[in-house]
Amino acid sequence: MNNVSDFEILFDHQTMASGTIPTDCACPATQPVPQSRDLTPATRLQHQPALRSIKLTPTHRVAFVPSLSWITVVNQATWALLERLQTPYTLADLNEDEQVAAQQLYALGLLHASDDAPHSPPAHELVAWLHVTNACNLRCTYCYIDKTAEAMTTTTGITAIDTILRSAQQYGYRSVQLKYAGGEASLNLPLVVEMHRYAQAQAHAAGIALRGVLLSNGVGLSHAQLQTVRDLGVLLMISLDGPPQFHDAQRPRNGGQGSFHAVVASIEGAQALDMPLTVSVTVTGASVAGLPTLVAWLLERDIHFALNFYRPTPASADRSELQLDEQRLIAGMRAAYAVIEGHLPRYSLLGCLLDRAHLGAPHHHVCGVGEHYMVIDHHGHVAKCQMEIGHAVGTIWDADPLHLIRSDRIGIQNVPVEAKADCHTCVWQHWCAGGCPVATWRATGHFDLKSPNCAIYQALYPEVIRLEGLRLLQWADRS
């Protein structure tokens, strides 16, 4: 937050940076960075042509430039200054208070200078999905994995870590994120512990920052296991899709029984241990009606969460109840947003309320697939995306598996949003990036078309921004 004389400008750098919701996918984790440039008295400033606002209260509105700026709450005086700067002004044309406010608005991307250079792309993190076991104690209706009892061995796991860190050094990554998954990753927890401790030591020696996430269905996590995960220093992400009748229908045990109560027990156990925890919610046509109840439950317990749309799989092709009907999904999401408006959290919601979109940072690709992402199965095969884990492009024993991922032109293609039909002219393009390439391919047979969920995204983006504006208005520090 910054409070400049009569000009009130609310944003939240700390919360936006620390409140990023890790995902169970390859989505970008980049954060917005204020522009750092010394402006001279002769610098000519003007508001961005695509500047928009949404009224929040009689005295405040949320201002933003789709695909570019920070989400910022401004008061009437600040908005009047932005409107005045439809016409270019030099800093010298403004009084002292206006100059300070204008420089802040420039840093947040709401104003631009006539001599601005193109923005450099943000630094990326290398993300690796480690499929440590093919076994699972659930039989989720939308799962894309053919379950077996096979699991990754220690030799394969340690070699995978060596390969990931070697790739990071070779391509200049300063940060690596490891996502331990399956199957159900906790069924091979001793290997996860061994791999991550080894990765911590090797990354420290190489000067590489390391993050870890354990993706779990939350069934059968004992107190001892939760303590182990906490002590390992990785974030726990547990899947929960709704109240019992909705969750159990989508995520039954392999014997057909429900799993809701076991999942809730694990969540409560993790909270009792004060563990970093995020809940991943898969929204389907069948479960969206239960979303408001689930969101209320999560907010009451101050649990971070991410709402992700169902991706059709070959195994779920005949499950018509899972399909995303546009009008029903939009109505269900709006009902969940109404609940959130009454229980606004302190942390940012920009990266968690609408599928894979992150409205806090511009990006050209919807995720890191094909560039900054590696998927390693239990045999050491390397694929580009976990939803295409059976389509390997190499192995961890290859000299440069990341090059094989980047040079592959046969499998999934994560084309830039500018190359997608109907996307390059869309104002949301660099926040949306055109949607998941796998979902688009399975719906259309093309990678260079807009997402089949485009109408849903466009209907809901303004509502997500409005919620973030209300959150800032409620929680931003005005001191």
Q: Which helix (H) or strand (E) holds 235?
A: strand 235-239
- Regarding whether 130 and 110 lie in a shared domain, the answer is no
Q: Is the pLDDT of residue 134 over 50?
A: yes
Q: Is the pLDDT of residue 426 over 60?
A: yes
- Regarding whether 98 and 57 lie in a shared domain, the answer is yes
Mean pLDDT across 368-388: 95
More confident residue, 13 or 147: 147
pLDDT at 68: 86
Per DSSP, the residues of 2-67 read EEETTEEEE--HHHHHHT----SS------------PPPTT-EEEE-TT-EEEE-SSSEEEEE-TT
pLDDT tens sequence across 190-248: 999 999 999 999 999 999 999 999 999 999 899 999 999 999 999 999 999 999 999 99
Residue 366 lies in a domain: no
CATH number for 250: 3.20.20.70
Task: Name, in order, each residue with C-beta under 8 angstroms of 335's C-beta and a sequence gap of 6 or more.
Answer: 291, 292
Q: Of 246-250, 362-366, 459-463, which range is least confident?
A: 362-366
Mean pLDDT across 129-134: 98
Are residues 70 and 121 in contact, defined by beta-carbon separation less than 8 angstroms? no
Mean pLDDT across 325-348: 95
pLDDT at 356: 76
Output the CA–CA distances (angstroms, integers) from residue 367 to 104, 205, 436, in the order listed. Answer: 30, 28, 8
Q: Of 55-64, 204-213, 408-417, which range is least confident?
A: 408-417
pLDDT band of residue 461 (cuts 50, 70, 90) is very high
Mean pLDDT across 22-46: 68
- Regarding whether 134 and 80 lie in a shared domain, the answer is no
Residue 161 lies in a domain: yes
pLDDT band of residue 373 (cuts 50, 70, 90) is very high
Per DSSP, the residues of 122-180 read PP--EEEEEE-BS--SB--TT------S-B--HHHHHHHHHHHHHHHHHTT-SEEEEEE
Are residues 62 and 14 in contact, defined by beta-carbon separation less than 8 angstroms? no
Residue 444 lies in a domain: no
Are residues 16 and 29 in contact, defined by beta-carbon separation less than 8 angstroms? no
Residue 250 lies in a domain: yes
pTM over 0.85: yes
Q: Is the pLDDT of residue 308 over 90?
A: yes
Cα–Cα distance measured from residue 316 to residue 310, given in angstroms and rounded to the nearest whole number: 10
Average pLDDT, the chain: 91
- Regarding whether 302 and 220 lie in a shared domain, the answer is yes
pLDDT band of residue 15 (cuts 50, 70, 90) is very low
- Regarding whether 184 and 78 lie in a shared domain, the answer is no
pLDDT band of residue 18 (cuts 50, 70, 90) is very low
- Regarding whether 134 and 95 lie in a shared domain, the answer is no
Q: What are phi and psi of 32, to 5 degrees?
A: -70, 140
Residue 148 lies in a domain: yes
- Regarding whether 101 and 21 lie in a shared domain, the answer is yes
Mean pLDDT across 92-109: 94
pLDDT > 70: what percent of the chain? 92
Residue 257 lies in a domain: yes
Cα–Cα distance measured from residue 293 to residue 343, given in angstroms and rounded to the nearest whole number: 13
pLDDT at 1: 46
pLDDT band of residue 372 (cuts 50, 70, 90) is very high
Are residues 294 and 240 in contact, defined by beta-carbon separation less than 8 angstroms? yes
Q: Is the pLDDT of residue 419 over 80?
A: yes
Q: Which helix (H) or strand (E) holds 292?
A: helix 291-300
The angle that helices 223-232 and 189-206 make with each other, rounded to 10 degrees, is: 10
- Regarding whether 67 and 38 lie in a shared domain, the answer is yes
- Pinpoint the alpha helices (H) of 301-427: 326-341, 401-407
DSSP count for the chain of H helices, then E strands: 14, 17
Q: Which of 66, 90, 120 corresponds to the end of one domain? A: 120
Q: What are phi and psi of 222, to 5 degrees?
A: -80, 165
Residue 202: CB atoms within 10 A of its CB come to 18
Are residues 9 and 78 in contact, defined by beta-carbon separation less than 8 angstroms? yes
- Regarding whether 291 and 152 lie in a shared domain, the answer is yes
pLDDT at 16: 41
pLDDT > 90: what percent of the chain? 76
Mean pLDDT across 399-419: 94
What's the angle, vertex CA 353, arms to CA 304 and CA 265, rounded to 5? Answer: 35
CATH number for 79: 3.90.930
Measured torsion, CA atoms of residues 467, 416, 19, 462, in degrees rounded to the nearest 10 = 0
Mean pLDDT across 85-114: 93
Q: Which of 120, 149, 170 corresponds to the end of one domain? A: 120
Domain boundaries, position 253: 126-341
pLDDT at 93: 95
More confident residue, 333 or 350: 333
What's the angle, vertex CA 378, arms to CA 374 and CA 379, rounded to 5? Answer: 95
- Regarding whether 231 and 112 lie in a shared domain, the answer is no
Cα–Cα distance measured from residue 295 to residue 339, given in angstroms and rounded to the nearest whole number: 7
Are residues 453 and 324 in contact, defined by beta-carbon separation less than 8 angstroms? yes
Q: Which of 120, 148, 171 corresponds to the end of one domain? A: 120
**What's the structural domain count of the chain?**
2
Q: Which helix (H) or strand (E) holds 374?
A: strand 373-376
Mean pLDDT across 358-382: 90
Mean pLDDT across 431-440: 90
Residue 303 lies in a domain: yes
- Regarding whether 163 and 53 lie in a shared domain, the answer is no
What's 119's DSSP letter? Answer: P
Q: Is the pLDDT of residue 19 over 70?
A: no
- Regarding whether 139 and 97 lie in a shared domain, the answer is no
Beta bridge partner(s), residue 415: none
pLDDT tens sequence across 149-200: 999 999 999 999 999 999 999 999 999 999 999 999 999 999 999 999 999 9
pLDDT band of residue 350 (cuts 50, 70, 90) is confident
Cα–Cα distance measured from residue 157 to residue 198, given in angstroms and rounded to the nearest whole number: 10
Q: Is the pLDDT of residue 374 over 80?
A: yes
Residue 275 lies in a domain: yes
Q: Is the pLDDT of residue 21 over 70?
A: no
